[in-house]
Amino acid sequence: MNIPTARDDFERVLSEHLWTLIPQVYRDRDGLGDTPGALRALVEVIAGQAAQLRRSHDRLWDDQQIELCADWAVPYIGALLGTRTLPAMSQRGRRIDVAKSIYYRRRKGTPAVLEQLASDITGWDAALVEGFKRLARLPHPLDAPRDAMEWAAVAPMASPLQMERVGGPFDRLQHMPDIAAGGCHGINRMAVHLYRLRAVPLQGVVPLPQGTVADAYTFDPSGRDVPLFARRGRTGGEGDALDPDGWRPARAWDVPAPIPCRLLGEEVFVLTPAVQTALRDFGLTDAQVDELRPLLGRVFAGLTRLRTALLTRPSSGVFLGAATLREIRRLALIDDCGKAQMLPRSIRVELDGAAAVPLTDMAAGSLADWDDPRATVPLVIDPERGRFRFPGGTPDGVLTTDHHIGQAAPIGATSLRHPQQLPTPDRQRTDGEPITAPNLPLNGTLRLSGNATWGQPNNRNGVVDLAIHADAGTRPYLRLTGNWRLNATEDGNASLHLDGLWIGAEAGGAAALVLDGDWEHVRLTNVTLDPGGALTEDAGSPVLPAIDLVVRGRVELLEIDSCILGRVRTIGGQIDEIRAADSIFDDRLALAPLDDTDIHLDRCTVNGAVQGRRAWISNTLIRRWLSPVDRQAGCFRFSAAREDSSPPQSYRAHLLAGNTGLFLSTRFGNPDYMRLRRHGPDAVLTGGENGQEMGAFHALADNARLAALKTKISEYAPLGVLPIYRFET
C-alpha cells in the first residue's frame, strides 16, 4: 500500500518497545552469538510492519475522504461512485475526477464542464469550439447563438485580426462542413484546443537597453527576443472562472498563449451618456457634447473608425484635437478588447513603480528593425518579439517591466519553482546590489531577492559551505563580464549549492563558472547557465556566448536537478560523479570528454554528446553520440542516442539513424525550447518509461494526460459528438 510516511519515528519507538518485552537473557545472547544482532534485526523488521499498520489505522478516517486519502484508496472511492477510473500515471486527474464526479454528471454535455474537465484532468487550459456553430447556412429564427460572424457572405479581408484567427479557436468566419476525419466544422464535430504551456509571471524585471538604437529595450534582460504571453484566466458572474454560474466562452486574451501584435493593439470604443457627462467636466460645451448623441451606443472597432465618425460632427476640429481625442479614447475604450485586457493585466511597463505612460499613449507595433512609423506615440510595444521603445525619448525614472513568458515545466531559473523552506540567509542582496566578497559567506547562505539584474559577482576563496538562493517566485539574472571563480577551502570536503540563478554573459564576451579546490558536493537546482546562441530568430542574428561549468579542482559529486546548462568540462581537474535529473544540456560536447567521471542521467535532454567513464542513462534523449569508456558497467534504458553511439548494456533503448528535426526549437528563449515535435519518431515520443516521451519533459507525462482527457471527454461529451484535439501551444 502506498501510505505516506510522516516523521513520526514509529519504527524506533516500536522497536524499543518490542525489545523490552524480550527476556534479558535472550537479549544478552543476541550480542554474543556467531551472528550478533540477528534477533535485534528481526525485531526491527516486525516493528516496521507494526509501524505501517499503526499509520494505516491512524489514517482510517482520512482514507474515507477523497481530499485526504492515500493514492491507493482513490480507485476504491471511485468504484463506489461508478466512475471510470483513470490510469495510475494520471494521479492528479484520477483524484480530481473522483472528487467531482457528481459535479460533472449534473452538467454532462455542456461546454462549461468539458472545458473544466480539460483543466482539471490535464492542468492545461482549453478552448472548446462546437463545430455546428460555425457552419455556413441560411439563418433560422430557432437558431442557437452562433460563434461565427452574423451571416457574413464573405470573409472580412479588411480585418487582419480576424483573418489571423482563421482555423484557430477564435475564428469567427463561416465554413463549409469538413469531410476529412480531422476536420473541426460539422454538426457532430467538437474541437478541443489545448494550451500546454504555462504563462509564467515576472515582476520588476530590468529591461536591457539596445546599444545601437536609442530608447529601445528588450523585456528579456539577456537581450533575446522572447514572445510575451497572455495571463491565463477568465472571469464572469459571481462564480469561479470555470464554474457554470460564471462560465463564458474563452476570449483570445484568456488563454496562456503568445500575444499577437494586432491583439495587443485592438481597440474597441463605445460612446455612452457617461462619456458625455465626463466630457462636459473635461471642458466641452453642452452643444458640442450634444453633437455626439447620434453616435451613442455604436461600436467602433479601432481608432480609424472612431475618427471617421467624429469627422461627421460639426465640431470635428474640437473632437480630433490631440488632448480631446485622447480623453475620448480613454473614456470610450471598453474592457472587452485586446488592449484593455492585455495592458496592464499581462504587460506593464513601469517607471518608479507606476505606469510609464497612460494606456491611450501605448501602441502595438512591429519593432523587427527597431523602427515604427508612429513616432508620435510615446510607447510602442512589440509583444511577438518582446521589445518596446519610447520614440520620443525615455522618461526619467527607474524602468522595470511586469510581463509573462511561456514555459512548459519548472526547468532552469524560473519563478515557477517552489523551493523547500529556504534557510535563514546570512547575507541578502536586493535590486541588483553589488555582490562583493564579504556578501559571499564562507560558511552560510546568500539570498538574492527580486527579478533584477546583477553585475559580475566577486570571486571567493576558502569556501566551506556556501549556498546562494534566489527568493521564491523570482528569477535573478547575473550578467558576467568574465569568469566567476569559487575556490574551496584547503581542508577539502567543501560544499556549494546554487538555487534558482540565471547566469549569463554580455554579447561579444566570454565567461564561465569556475570551481577550484576540493569540493565534496556541488549541487545545482533550477539553475540556468546560459547556453548562449542567437538573440533572435532572424538569419544572421547576433549571438550570446555560453556559460560553461569548468572544474579546475576536484568535485566528488556534482548534482544537477531541473537545470539548463551548456557544457560541463574539466581543465586540469576531475569530477568523480555527475547525477542529473530533469535537466537540459545544450552544447555539442555537453558532457564529453569526461573519461574519469561516472555519469547518471535520468529524464534529461542532451543536445550534444556524452562520454564518461561509466554511464547510467534512463528516459534520456541524447542528440549526438553516447560513448562511455567502460561499457561493461552501467545501463542504457528507455533512452535514445545517435546510431554511431557505443552504449552500455541496453534495455528498450533506441539508436536513431537521423535525429534532426526532433525539437520544436533549439534557441534558448523560445517558449518551445527543447520540446519534442508532436510528429517526431514514435520511438522518442512514446519510448520512455510507461509510454511517455523521452527527455527533460518526461515527468510531465503529456501522453498520459492526453489519454486521460480523451477518456473523460468521451464520457461526458454529448451523444454522437466527435471530439477533435488540437495543440495550440
Q: Which residue, among 393, 395, 399, has the nearest Cα to 214 in the 3D structure?
A: 393
Lookup result for grid cell 560536447: 589
Residue 207 domain flag? no
Beta bridge partners, 380, equal: 363, 389
Residue 51 domain flag? yes
CA distance 104 to 116: 9
Max CA distance (Å), the chain? 113
Contacts of 525 (CB under 8 A, 6+ apart): 419, 497, 498, 499, 500, 561, 562, 563
CA distance 692 to 706: 11
CA distance 354 to 344: 11
Residue 332 domain flag? no
CA distance 571 to 192: 53
Q: Are 600 and 578 in contact (CB under 8 A)?
A: yes
Low-confidence ranges of the chain (pLDDT < 50): 1-4, 236-242
Please give the torsion angle defined by the CA atoms of residues 600, 603, 606 and 607, in that order, rounded to the nearest 10 degrees.
Answer: 180
Contacts of 566 (CB under 8 A, 6+ apart): 529, 530, 531, 532, 546, 547, 548, 549, 585, 586, 587, 590
Reported as type and span, the H/E element at residue 616 is strand 610-618
User: What is the predicted pLDDT for the residue at 419?
Assistant: 65
Q: Which residue, among 530, 477, 478, 480, has the nearest Cα to 506 in the 3D structure?
A: 480
Residue 454 domain flag? yes
Query: 695 is written with which cell numbers?
Result: 527527455
Among residues 50, 72, 94, the one where a domain terminates is: 72
User: What is the predicted pLDDT for the residue at 32?
Assistant: 79
CA distance 696 to 700: 9
Residue 403 domain flag? no
User: What is the predicted pLDDT for the residue at 2?
Assistant: 43
Q: Are 219 and 200 in contact (CB under 8 A)?
A: no
Dump the DSSP string for 459-486.
PEEEESEEEEEEPTT---EEEESS-EEE
* Entry pTM: 0.88
CA distance 444 to 442: 6
Cα angle: 394, vertex 400, 403; to 5 degrees: 120
Rounded to the nearest 5°, which phi and psi values hold at 20? -70, -20
CA 645 vs CA 5, 189, 612, 624, 662: distances in Å: 42, 47, 13, 8, 18
Query: 302 is written with which cell numbers?
Result: 479601432
Q: Which residue, among 255, 261, 241, has the nearest Cα to 197 in the 3D structure?
A: 255
DSSP tally for the chain: helices H, then strands E? 17, 42
Residue 271 domain flag? no
CA distance 313 to 98: 62
Could you list the residue range(s) of the whole structural domain that residue 66 is in? 10-72
Backbone region of residue 450 per phi and psi (left: phi > 0; alpha: psi in -120 to 50; beta: other values) = left
CA distance 559 to 561: 7
Is residue 238 classed exposed, middle or buried when 0-12, 13-18 and 19+ CB atoms within 10 A define those classes?
Answer: exposed
User: What is the predicted pLDDT for the residue at 246?
Assistant: 62
Is residue 133 classed exposed, middle or buried when 0-12, 13-18 and 19+ CB atoms within 10 A define those classes?
Answer: middle
Considering only CA atoms, give the Rg of the chain: 30
User: What is the predicted pLDDT for the residue at 502?
Assistant: 93
Q: Which residue, among 415, 435, 477, has the nearest Cα to 208 in the 3D structure?
A: 477
Q: Are 651 and 638 in contact (CB under 8 A)?
A: yes
User: What is the predicted pLDDT for the residue at 184?
Assistant: 78
Please give the torsion angle defined by the CA atoms of residues 376, 379, 384 and 385, in that order, rounded to the nearest 10 degrees.
Answer: 100
Cα angle: 349, vertex 353, 354; to 5 degrees: 65
Q: Which residue, among 488, 202, 516, 486, has the nearest Cα to 346 in the 3D structure?
A: 202
Query: 597 is written with which cell numbers?
Result: 567521471
Q: How many CB atoms lie within 10 A of CB 415?
A: 21
Residue 14 domain flag? yes
User: What is the predicted pLDDT for the residue at 372?
Assistant: 62
Q: Which residue, among 531, 523, 527, has the nearest Cα to 417 in the 3D structure?
A: 527
Residue 397 domain flag? no
Backbone region of residue 174 per phi and psi (left: phi > 0; alpha: psi in -120 to 50; beta: other values) = beta
Q: Into how many domains does the chain fold?
A: 2
Query: 58 is written with which cell numbers?
Result: 491512524
- Count of alpha carbons within 13 Å of 180, Cβ hemisphere only? 5
Q: How many CB atoms lie within 10 A of CB 69?
A: 18
The length of the chain in residues reads 729
CA 464 vs CA 220, 487, 496, 519, 522: distances in Å: 34, 9, 8, 9, 11
Q: Which residue, among 244, 245, 254, has the nearest Cα to 116 in the 3D structure?
A: 244
Lookup result for grid cell 570571486: 459
Q: Which residue, among 692, 230, 241, 668, has the nearest Cα to 414 in the 3D structure?
A: 668
CA distance 392 to 375: 7
Lookup result for grid cell 534504458: 637
